[in-house]
Structure 1
Amino acid sequence: MEEVKMPIRLVRFFTSALIAIAAMLAPAVAGAQQFKANVTGTVTDAQGGIIPGATVTMTNTDTNVAVESVSDDKGVFSVKDLVPGPYKLAAALQGFKTFVRDGIILHTAETATIAVKMEVGRLEETVTVSAGLSEVETNQSVLSQTMDNKRVSELPLNGRQVYMLLQLTSGTLFTQQTFGATGFSGTRAWDVNGSVSIHGSRTGNNEFLVDGAPGSGTGGGSGGWNYAPPVDAIEEFKVDTASTDAQYGRTSGGVVNLTLRSGTNDLRGSVTGLFRGTALDSNQIQNILNNISNKGHKYFDGEAMVSGPIRRGRTFFMGGYQGFYEEIPFPSTVTVPTDLQRAGDFSQTFNASGQLIQVFDPLTTTCNAAGVCTRAAFVNNQIPTTRINPVASALLAQMPKASAPGTITGTNNFISSPNLGHYRYNSYLTRIDQVFSEKHRLSFSNSGNWGSERRAENSLPPPALRSDNWPTHRNHYLATADDSLILGPRTILNTRVSYDAFYEPHDKEFGPLGSLTLPFNTPYQLTSSPWYSGISMAGYSTMFAQGFRESDQRAYSVMSTMSRTMGGHLLKVGGEFRLYRQYRLDQGNLNGTFGFDGRFSRRNPLTGDSTSGNAFADFLLGYPSANGNTGSNVSIGAQSDQRYPNYIAFVQDDWKLSPRATLNIGLRYDYQAPVTEAQDRQTVGYDPSTPNPLQLPAGTINPATGQPIGTLRGGLLYAGVNGNRRTPYKGDWNNFQPRVSFTYKVTESISARANYGRSYLGLSACCGGVQQDGYSQTTSLITAGPDIGVPFTTLDSPYPGGQFLQPVGNALGLATTNGQGMSFRNPDFKIPYTDQWMTGVNLELPGNIGLDVAYVGNRISGLPVTRNINLIPIGEQMKGIARLGGNPTYLSTQLTNPFAGLLPGTTLNTATVARSQLLRPNPLFQGINQDFNNIGYATYNALEMALNKRLTKGLAANVTYTFSRRRQATDLLNSWDAKTFEDIDPNDRPHRMTITALYALPFGPGRRFGSNTSGAVARLIEGWQYNVIGEITSGTPIGMASNAIPLQNTFSIGSNQSLNQWFDNSTKTHPRADGTYAWDVIGTNDFRVSRLRFPDVRQDSKPLWSMSFFKNTGIGGDRVLQFRAEVFNVFNTRLYNTAISTDPNNPNFGVVSNSQINFARTGQLGLRMTF
């Protein structure tokens, strides 16, 4: 296959393109993400006449840094590249009074219009006005929400994790459902990372920026964050939910931009300490029901920030630190073997009906000519000590004993309390701003974060503890340099360089296998994997940790922006280079994971029943199953070093058509090169036609078809081998993205706007990773021996003869995956793209209230879908469907295996094999999955409203409401289908409202109440503030099991909904009183005919509120001491775990467990001093 010569073509393309654009736009060359603000406007006299030649100066009132512009012959001026913050505008021209407008606040990535009306008079005379809310307006037709430092720092923000504010933006929701006892609390810097959807975006496909640079800690470009800067170091938090500015890309929804605080001419700072503990917490409902006390919670969050001048007016600094430590109790009840069971005694082991569960000896299995098999029961239902496997005995000594009576079935007999999760991190951030002159400024920032998490996923103590997070370390570093140079009165060059790194090792601090000295037949014991084997037993808690894995992600970015004012045009041209690098290592489960399901101790080896067989009995006997909870296997992981180069160019024209109308036109181009692996450790395609190295003797008959098998063909292709390209698919060179928006000021209080834009998703976020068949390997346990029902392998010798499949890399070529399944990428894959549009109005209402109403649409096209190209013919499939007159056992019938003994270590090496395998077009392989077929899509349509009450009379408030409809078509209903089927999106929430408010209570001197008080009384009643966050939302749809068939259109039971019946769950075996039922199930091998989600079968959702009271007290000078009392989930609202069984065959179908997935009410006390 021909190698794609990308670098040379790319250099030529970008060089030609940028030279052409530069020639058209004079000095303009290059561009990238902007977090800085621009100001434009027209200078007129009192009668509206144009005034050219006026000098307009924008001065930052914190730093006294000033930037000048001169109005052109049309009176238009433009001041560009301003750091967000407070400003004063001054306009001067001989013959006119100097015009001054103060109180201007410029926000992140904003282009503001300010009208300047000058009066005839002497230059020394000054006319000063304050900026009115309707006199400073944005020119851009975007939906956005900006929160300044006051809201960021004073809203009741759980954990002071700034990205949790995303939930307060219209059209934005978290897809992480469980901010509770599953580990995600939303309080740590890394919490929930990319689990947010903006305007229907795919999770992990939004752009997160810090000071305009890609630097939120997801070095690999995963479209999220793993680092949140300290709150007091943030100047502004801005979310653009429908941006069509060409400088933004790599998103399917929105852009989130954090602007860091800069130093000022005054020394300023803050010190904050926040405390929580058990005494301030309510208990979880599941703990109350199990008589488990609430104990062990400890929380401390300390933060400090200081900023000021190093050299007044020239050099400024800002530094911040945050230290966080929390121990969260996750008390729970789980199931472990009883004391009798540990001794092999199952005489007190019962099912839910109180019937004794007998255990049988698999070595006594006999089968008659009719295929009826029986076993002899163990005497007195006890396994002799001589039959207990030595490995099982050694592992049993490390398992905790029961600590509670449990139920009649022996379940929930271990109380794990307080079962603490340990979390900590330390974070720093610094920034230096240098003003070399009025025309040249430079800033440099860097930050670091070191965090760790220790949490038991199975609620058991070490060494039985099983967790991927004991510990997980999360270390982040970000550095950004930003240079701004004014080349002339109309031209500014901005250059930015950034480096972002995130390292995440998942280590283990327990379970050294060597201390057991097990007679364990794996070749890795005591060497590269000194950990226990993973044990999963049906009906019991999983136990023991497994191997090590780590990821190291880096992002490098070089970008430059040059903008130029030309009459009513503000032109920007841009270029950027990004390199995302992802290094990943997964050691695998080198000492194996073993599952037990009771099949070897049940009465009949071929079928199960409710009165025989126990998974722990199988464990004691040492007989793992290939089909247990997690299966049984030894896996050897792979490592990869992935590279994703990105080349970006754009041009943007913000054109002021008239004082009332603005047109924004842009064009962006991205070339996201296909992923390469540094050492070519990846597959790059599938060859269906070349003969495979393995061939059967000529004339070998396929027993499923009665025809000769013939020449075996096909296999995977590897990067760089035999002329193959290094990438899994061809480069997508056609990623042009037009953008257009229009804003019209209908009246002084009404503005209308509309926009459209196309954007391509970030390749590394939506469709990343490499296929590494051959570089990792899994050896599945083979339990089927020559005698039916008699164990073939044991726990102390699970792989007789040591037949472990070893990673072979690309050495075997087409034969690498013989006898196994495989996946490869569609060679013609194109990067998915999103088309977004919006139309709406903005109203300025009395009382300093702004109202935004908009219709928003989003369609994401070309989403990747996997298709199996090695399916059995559909006609053969139909022969196994009873509904169509077929035999349900037709496909599973065992036939003589023509590959027996030729495929060691695979499930196709046995003497017999299922008919379904031999009916595949290529019986040498199992499933052959072609990934990344561009046939999926997703849509989002919404009415969005945002009501913003600006700060007046001590009150600032914001209310958002979104009425939306989300659909997706990203799956095949049946594997033979040509098209995907449309269904409700799993993140669909039709109604969502958020409410936030900050209110300075009207008490104290000069206020409405107590205006005449003084002394101690005044100090006591003044300075109180109340803050609130509320969220009211619909639940997300519950996905039904693939075998469920709906027999009606609606399933809501209204006020009759209960935990025992969350929806109409009547089935054929559990019908309604009149014998009718709502659900049926599809038969064995049958086709699915209905969708997976239904509009009235949804997760639990209730209003959630958080509130706080602050008391601000002056303690001399500009120092203020703030006492904070905050309550999260103030009404102790319980969201129930609706991760329920959706299989109509399950007796618990539609039944919700009485357990809470969100945190119970939590209180927090704190002190904060500002100066």
Structure 2
Amino acid sequence: MILDIRANLSRFVQQRQPGLDFDPASLGFSSVAVAAMNGYSYLPRFDIRTYDSLRPVRSILGSNRSDYNAGLKRPLYVASLQPSLTQTVGNHTLRYGYDARVLRENLTTSGFQGGRFFFDGTYTSITTTTTTNSDNATNLERNRNAYGRDVAAFLFCLGANTNLLGCGIPTASTSQSLIDTSSTNYSVQSVYHGFFFQDDFRVTPKLTLNLGIRYELELGLTERYNRLMQGFDLTTPSPVQAAAQAAYLAAWNADPNRATNFPLTPDKFVVAGGPTYATEGDRNLWNADQSNWQPRLGASYQLNPKTVLRAGFGIFMAPFRVIQDDVKQIGYSASTALIPTNDQGRTFVATVNNPFPSGFTPAFGSSLGINTSVGGTLGAADTGLIPEERKNAKFSRLVVGIQRELPGQFVVEANYVSSWGRDLAVNRNLNFVPRQYIADLSSATSNAAASALDAAANTFLSGTITNPFRNLYNNTPNATSGFNTATTISRAQSLLRFPQFQNVWVQEFNGTNRYNALQLQGVKRFSKELTLNVTYTYSKLRERISYLNPSDVELEDRVSTDDRPNRFTFATVYLLPIGRERKFGRDMNRIVDAFIGGWQVNGTYEWQQGQPIGLTTPLFYYGDVTQLKSHAGENDGQGGKYGIDRPAFDTAGLLRLNSFSLRNVPSTLDNLRHQPFQSVNLSVSKNFALGEGRRIQIRGEALNAFNHPYFIDLSADPNNAAFARYTTQRNIPRDIQLGIKFTF
């Protein structure tokens, strides 16, 4: 019996600091502005930009690292304890074990703690009109981007002030001129427990079984001070629901064409739901998935001295990771925009030396509850809000194979591999226009008819009605948002399940995938001079991890963008049989051997079928879209290539849709693939033996030796001039390298 105990404690810190101490007060900032910088002792950031498509010029003043997240500090702690017990009972080797891990991550950022001030020609132009001239540039653009306008804004009023910055006028923009008075900070912890049992059972000298089971429990993420947005409440009525319904009803009654203009009757207009936050009584970001039982079964049978049969089945859980995308802290950071003028530059109310005369936007934390982010978007298309009942992805894997040794030390192996994934994360937007209001183009008899239906739906749903939310958020941080002040909203907005928000992205755990593959391998083991390794894989990967249309009930069953059905590789190492201790010239003179002995040649070849083209743009096709075929990378017969000199596939029948029509083109098609990938790498090396274990190797390498370009990022938008053409090369051109290595 053997007891093995392993423990680990590690700490890693990612840290960024500005490089030069500086007192911002010496620049003439007001005492209020300096106080808002909260001890920031570096030169703030100043962007001076003159920009147009032909003459981009941008200068950034500030201390080293004087940019966003200057002052970032991110220590990460990992602790683990892994005791295991091994004992032998007859033909059984038994192992029992426990795996405990604690991961703690802390993040402290300062954002633009000292402020960011952006200068261009917006307020130093001679015109603010936007009429277009013959050069297709507007007066505003040409004057704002003329050289010197940005510097003039920076130096504005310099002669009247002895301070370095005078009373320069930055440009008003919430993303350009601002100060972060409260920035994101968190201290999160994730706890993991794992238990396992394994029995290696030698049934006979030829048959061995491996039996086991593992159970894993990954507890929900917690934050030390509960500064976490947990998820989304689907049902709780909004505090403004009654007032919004009353305003909607009043607008309905006042419109004689209400039956046409208002697609939703007042009794159907509901304002409910919103984000939820962690509390002292409910701290976990999610509840632990308790269904992570993972049985394992393996078998190996020696059919004869040169043939072995193997098989295995197991269920494997994918653990979560503590990543910043999971930690959502909306409300716990605050930025104050610099608004220099309220009348387009006729008069100025704020300058650099007094940039925030009206005070600062406070961080409101979780105090707004479900009213947080009204008028905005929650989550993102790739990082939805995490529900309480989060699930770990699980994969069931089966492998059945045979290995056979042939004459000449050549070993061949064939395996069938299958994998089923379930409980995969799916990001879904809950805020979509109901299906009955969206254009169904299935009845269209041509692309022109489909385009007309699409345009009609877009015109109607983009049209506006009276804004029922106007002035309902006056006493909240959303008081000045367009959502609170606008007189109208779109009809589409009023039809959303949660009309007080734009997009509401949440995670679901109903995704699945299926992988099947035949894997073949042949290996010529090192025999004197030559080693060969040849592999071929034929596979198929399908998945259901997204919705083709937001209102779809079922996930789209599609070929995965990671599917590459055919893959072939070849690798060889050849020691030239010339020189001392080789087949020819075994007793060769050392001086002669230094020139003609000790040479080695290596080579690899890789070919892989192209992956499916991602058709992320909403598209309609009149006809059988499965008949479309990609010729990407092929010669076009006229000296050019498909995907470069002409579209990779026939684009004539594809129509780009607006936001309010049902697409009928899948997001991937088996026949629409990127060009195949192929690469050849070669190397030649010369070894010099110096005796007593010392050796020098001189090596020359040619990566992508035949300079095969591999293009990616093909445009899938019919409205783009580069539609069905490549704009980016993924691999590197031919790369020649020389090196020397001394081994002793």
State TM-score, norm by structure 1. Answer: 0.50
Match in the other structure for 1:678: 224
CA offset at residue 1061 of structure 1? 4.3
**In the alignment, structure 1 residue 1118 sits paired with structure 2 residue 720:** no
Match in the other structure for 2:502: 926
- For 2:276 and 2:456, locate their aligned partners in 1 and report how far apart those are by CA, in whole Å: 39
Distance 1:689 1:633, change over 3 A: farther
> Is the Cα–Cα contact under 8 Å of residues 817 and 925 in structure 1 kept in the other structure?
yes
> Is the Cα–Cα contact under 8 Å of residues 628 and 650 in structure 2 kept in the other structure?
no
- For 2:690 and 2:313, locate their aligned partners in 1 and report how far apart those are by CA, in whole Å: 53
> Is the Cα–Cα contact under 8 Å of residues 780 and 906 in structure 1 kept in the other structure?
no
2:718 corresponds to which of 1144, 1153, 1158: 1144
- For 2:356 and 2:558, locate their aligned partners in 1 and report how far apart those are by CA, in whole Å: 48
Aligned AA (1:832): A
- For 1:805 and 1:876, locate their aligned partners in 2 and report how far apart those are by CA, in whole Å: 40
**In the alignment, structure 1 residue 1165 sits paired with structure 2 residue 707:** no
- For 1:760 and 1:989, locate their aligned partners in 2 and report how far apart those are by CA, in whole Å: 24
**1:390-469 correspondence to structure 2 within 5 Å:** none
- For 1:894 and 1:819, locate their aligned partners in 2 and report how far apart those are by CA, in whole Å: 16
> Is the Cα–Cα contact under 8 Å of residues 1045 and 1079 in structure 1 kept in the other structure?
yes
State TM-score, norm by structure 2. Answer: 0.77
> Is the Cα–Cα contact under 8 Å of residues 534 and 592 in structure 1 kept in the other structure?
no
**1:618-633 correspondence to structure 2 within 5 Å:** 618=144
> Is the Cα–Cα contact under 8 Å of residues 955 and 998 in structure 1 kept in the other structure?
yes
2:3 corresponds to which of 490, 493, 496: 493
Q: Which runs of 5+ in 2 are unaligned?
A: 61-65, 151-169, 252-261, 380-384, 442-450
CA displacement, residues 451-482 of structure 1 (integer Å, 9 cap, x when unaligned): xxxxxxxxxxxxxxxxxxxxxxxxxxxxxxxx
CA offset at residue 578 of structure 1? 1.1
Aligned AA (2:328): Q
Aligned AA (1:1160): P
Match in the other structure for 1:998: 573
> Is the Cα–Cα contact under 8 Å of residues 888 and 1084 in structure 1 kept in the other structure?
yes
> Is the Cα–Cα contact under 8 Å of residues 804 and 905 in structure 1 kept in the other structure?
no
- For 2:668 and 2:178, locate their aligned partners in 1 and report how far apart those are by CA, in whole Å: 34
**In the alignment, structure 1 residue 658 sits paired with structure 2 residue 236:** no
**In the alignment, structure 1 residue 729 sits paired with structure 2 residue 252:** no
CA offset at residue 1163 of structure 1? 3.1
Match in the other structure for 1:756: 313
Aligned AA (2:96): V
Distance 1:834 1:746, change over 3 A: same
CA RMSD of superposed structures (Å): 4.4
Aligned AA (1:494): D
1:900 corresponds to which of 470, 482, 485: 470
> Is the Cα–Cα contact under 8 Å of residues 129 and 140 in structure 2 kept in the other structure?
yes
Match in the other structure for 1:850: 411
Aligned AA (2:686): K
**1:818-833 correspondence to structure 2 within 5 Å:** 818-823=374-379, 824-833=385-394
Aligned AA (1:1036): Q
CA displacement, residues 1121-1169 of structure 1 (integer Å, 9 cap, x when unaligned): 3333333223333333x3232210111212334x644333333333333
> Is the Cα–Cα contact under 8 Å of residues 581 and 644 in structure 1 kept in the other structure?
yes
CA offset at residue 682 of structure 1? 0.4
SS of residue matched to 2:629: coil
Match in the other structure for 1:817: 373
Distance 1:777 1:959, change over 3 A: farther
Aligned AA (1:826): P
CA displacement, residues 526-580 of structure 1 (integer Å, 9 cap, x when unaligned): 9648224597967476966840245433322211222222222221111111112
**In the alignment, structure 1 residue 718 sits paired with structure 2 residue 277:** yes
CA displacement, residues 255-311 of structure 1 (integer Å, 9 cap, x when unaligned): xxxxxxxxxxxxxxxxxxxxxxxxxxxxxxxxxxxxxxxxxxxxxxxxxxxxxxxxx
- For 1:792 and 1:945, locate their aligned partners in 2 and report how far apart those are by CA, in whole Å: 76
- For 1:536 and 1:980, locate their aligned partners in 2 and report how far apart those are by CA, in whole Å: 47
**1:1038-1117 correspondence to structure 2 within 5 Å:** 1038-1047=613-622, 1048=625, 1049-1053=627-631, 1054-1056=634-636, 1057-1061=641-645, 1063-1067=647-651, 1077-1117=652-692
CA offset at residue 609 of structure 1? 11
Match in the other structure for 2:131: 603
Match in the other structure for 2:563: 988
CA displacement, residues 926-946 of structure 1 (integer Å, 9 cap, x when unaligned): 3333x2211112222211122
Aligned AA (1:948): V
Query: How many residues are treated as equivalent by the alignment?
Result: 661
SS of residue matched to 2:485: coil
- For 1:996 and 1:560, locate their aligned partners in 2 and report how far apart those are by CA, in whole Å: 41
**1:195-206 correspondence to structure 2 within 5 Å:** none
**In the alignment, structure 1 residue 578 sits paired with structure 2 residue 107:** no
**In the alignment, structure 1 residue 552 sits paired with structure 2 residue 75:** yes
- Judge which range, 641-650 or 989-998, deviates more: 989-998
- For 2:294 and 2:376, locate their aligned partners in 1 and report how far apart those are by CA, in whole Å: 42
Q: Which runs of 5+ in 1 are unaligned?
A: 1-490, 1068-1076
CA offset at residue 648 of structure 1? 0.7
- For 1:701 and 1:854, locate their aligned partners in 2 and report how far apart those are by CA, in whole Å: 65
> Is the Cα–Cα contact under 8 Å of residues 882 and 888 in structure 1 kept in the other structure?
no
> Is the Cα–Cα contact under 8 Å of residues 536 and 594 in structure 1 kept in the other structure?
no
1:836 corresponds to which of 382, 387, 397: 397
> Is the Cα–Cα contact under 8 Å of residues 853 and 945 in structure 1 kept in the other structure?
yes
> Is the Cα–Cα contact under 8 Å of residues 340 and 351 in structure 2 kept in the other structure?
no
Match in the other structure for 1:20: none
> Is the Cα–Cα contact under 8 Å of residues 563 and 570 in structure 1 kept in the other structure?
yes
CA offset at residue 769 of structure 1? 2.0
**In the alignment, structure 1 residue 701 sits paired with structure 2 residue 248:** yes
> Is the Cα–Cα contact under 8 Å of residues 94 and 200 in structure 2 kept in the other structure?
yes
- For 1:708 and 1:609, locate their aligned partners in 2 and report how far apart those are by CA, in whole Å: 53
CA offset at residue 1000 of structure 1? 2.3
CA offset at residue 771 of structure 1? 2.4
**In the alignment, structure 1 residue 891 sits paired with structure 2 residue 461:** yes
Distance 1:526 1:631, change over 3 A: closer
**1:835-984 correspondence to structure 2 within 5 Å:** 835-878=396-439, 883=453, 886-901=456-471, 902=474, 903-915=478-490, 916-929=492-505, 931-984=506-559
> Is the Cα–Cα contact under 8 Å of residues 879 and 886 in structure 1 kept in the other structure?
no
Aligned AA (1:644): S
Distance 1:632 1:530, change over 3 A: closer
| Higher relative contact order structure (alpha carbons within 8 Å, sequence separation ≥ 6) | 1
Distance 1:515 1:810, change over 3 A: closer
Aligned AA (1:926): Q
> Is the Cα–Cα contact under 8 Å of residues 439 and 457 in structure 2 kept in the other structure?
no
- For 2:358 and 2:461, locate their aligned partners in 1 and report how far apart those are by CA, in whole Å: 32
- For 1:927 and 1:990, locate their aligned partners in 2 and report how far apart those are by CA, in whole Å: 36
Distance 1:516 1:918, change over 3 A: farther
Match in the other structure for 2:364: 808
**1:492-571 correspondence to structure 2 within 5 Å:** 492-505=2-15, 528=40, 530-532=44-46, 539=53, 546-548=67-69, 549=72, 551-571=74-94
> Is the Cα–Cα contact under 8 Å of residues 709 and 731 in structure 2 kept in the other structure?
yes
CA offset at residue 594 of structure 1? 8.0
Aligned AA (2:685): F
> Is the Cα–Cα contact under 8 Å of residues 757 and 837 in structure 1 kept in the other structure?
yes
Aligned AA (1:838): V
SS of residue matched to 1:1144: coil
Distance 1:1064 1:689, change over 3 A: closer
Distance 1:778 1:761, change over 3 A: farther
SS of residue matched to 1:496: strand
SS of residue matched to 2:483: coil
Aligned AA (2:487): T
